[in-house]
Amino acid sequence: MSNEMQLKYGCNPNQKPSRVYMADGSELPIEVLCGRPGYINLLDALNGWQLVKELKAATGVCAATSFKHVSPAGAAIGRPLSDDLKKIYWVDDLGELTPLASAYARARGADRMSSYGDFIALSDKVDVCTAKMIQREVSDGIIAPDYDPEALEILKSKRKGTYCILKIDPSYKPAPIETKQVYGVSFEQGRNELDINRELLSNVVTENKNIPDDKKDDLLISLITLKYTQSNSVCYVKDGQAIGIGAGQQSRIHCTRLAGQKADNWWLRQSPQVMGLQFVDDIRRADRDNAIDVYIGDEYEDVLREGEWQRIFKVKPAVFTREEKKAWLAKNTGVCLGSDAFFPFGDNIERAKKSGVEFIAEPGGSIRDDNVIETCNKYNIAMAFTGIRLFHH
């Protein structure tokens, strides 16, 4: 390792020269095992590594995240997958999954459209099962603390030997003050070293005070994910994984709607209508994901019209009607929601309820907190005020 790495270019090809380096002269905490990382790759890698490291510390379970454009498309811990989840994540042919493979299947499967071409971060040593799963996905690279020798060789075979593989020193601890420049002006701040733990969930302000332990873990997953998501951001979580992440929206209600739609799509993919789709044998994985996304949306006719459906399906699917979708979505319950800043109005709660939200963690502090709490009470939602904001830019 060295204290400097030259890059091909910055965010865009015209932004040259480009490099990453350690200003104090120390060695970089990352080692390139294969490929050549780019500027955005490294932003994704370093943010993603922090996320999974904190998820592992908070839950005691290995973790994975799928990053795109400096925000996570998915994040999860390594809980076992049901048969239905294995099927909708396209991993039902891989046999018994290791916990780390389960974590990445969940992280990748939450929003497969957004995860296409992702940068992966894993909290633990990469095993062969996880490497085989990654081998067949379209991905730009991976960062992890270590790799099994066979797993490393599998990953090195991706993209004709150019797949970006990074090894990070898990003991690395950055300086407490961080700096960056914008338009030639230097910014300096203390690093966000906030420890996100269950104590942050102790101030339950609603009439319903009951937040079970497994839901507390899900709320911690949402908050840690938000800590590394471009703001404004909200995160829906269920059973140990993010199912809808809304990032970078100027309006919080738009963020809640965006993430809620992603959570709805995740649930709709588990419906009998989608599980029963019969795809042609030679369809590409990305085309299959896109077809499902269109089929469950308002523009379903794009994949059902004559001459098009034959290219995708063996048998023409019936229309997934609005009424059928509404009935299926009503079965999604026990969802947790985190927000990186306070909800200013109860309309966010109204939208969250439509996606099965029953538990919420947000900072509190709005002049309309009473309206937000009242809306939660209307639906028997338990909400904790954490007292902390998690903006990330």
DSSP 212-262: -HHHHHHHHHHHHHHHTSPSSEEEEEETTEEEEEEES-SSHHHHHHHHHHH
Rounded Cα distance between 215 and 199, Å, is: 14
56, 68, 262, 353: which is the annotated catalytic residue?
68
Q: Is 52 exposed, middle or buried (0-12, 13-18, 19+ CB in 10 A)?
A: buried
Known catalytic residue at 203: no
Known catalytic residue at 68: yes
Contact assessment for residue 74 and residue 246, using Cβ atoms and an 8 Å cutoff: no
Q: Hey, which bits of 248-348 come out as E strands?
A: 335-339
Pairing of strands 18-21, 139-144: unpaired
Preceding omega of 232 cis (within 30 degrees of 0): yes
Token match 């300096």: residue? 188
- Sequence-distant (≥ 6) Cβ neighbours of residue 7 within 8 angstroms: 18, 19, 20, 37, 38, 39, 42
313: alpha, beta or left, given left = phi > 0 and alpha = psi -120 to 50? Answer: beta
41, 47, 232, 332: which is the annotated catalytic residue?
232
69, 132, 156, 392: which is the annotated catalytic residue?
69
At 179 the three-state DSSP class reads strand
Read off the DSSP letter of residue 103: H
Read off the DSSP letter of residue 222: H
Known catalytic residue at 232: yes
Measured from the Cβ of residue 168, the count of other Cβ atoms closer than 10 Å reads 19
Which has the closest alpha carbon to 39: 64, 69, 66? 69
- What single-letter amino acid sits at 176? P
How many angstroms separate the Cα of 161 from the Cα of each of 33, 164, 201, 312? 11, 9, 46, 31
**What is the set of active-site residues?**
68-69, 232, 393
